Amino acid sequence: MHEMSLVEGIRTIVEDQARAQAFSRVLVLRLEIGAFAGVEKAALDFAWDVVMRGTPAEGARLEMIDLPGRAMCLDCATLVEIADRLAPCPLCGGGNLLAQGGDEMRVRNMEVV
């Protein structure tokens, strides 16, 4: 379960920011997750509760925001959203696509006190 190590990385971000910004508690953390990031949300949610114990984010609400997969269709020269890495272009049906996004995962923001 690599979600545990992902949340450990988020914990480091939270702790670093708590020191740098002098906040004591995170109320909400919003996390953007691309469609192709390979993250199991249920496992991430479970890991969140376990890993955040004893940190400023203990008890914080984790909001996961889905980001679409995107690709440049080289056949019709259009940036399109795709549901699957191997999907054809939804506009022209072409199969010559270059991935442009959807594999990212990042902390969007936090509500803190």
Q: What is the pLDDT of residues 16-75, one digit of tens each?
A: 999 999 999 999 999 999 999 999 999 999 999 999 999 999 999 999 999 999 999 999
Q: For the chain, what is the domain count?
A: 1
Long-range contacts of 78-83 (CB under 8 A, 24+ apart): 83/35
Range of 105's domain? 3-112
Which pLDDT score is estimated for 36?
95
- pTM, rounded to two decimals: 0.89
- Matching residue, tokens 């708590």: 18
Q: CA 72 to CA 63: how far, in whole Å?
A: 29
Looking at the DSSP assignment, which residues form a beta bridge with residue 30?
63, 109
Q: Residue 7: which CATH number?
A: 3.30.2320.80
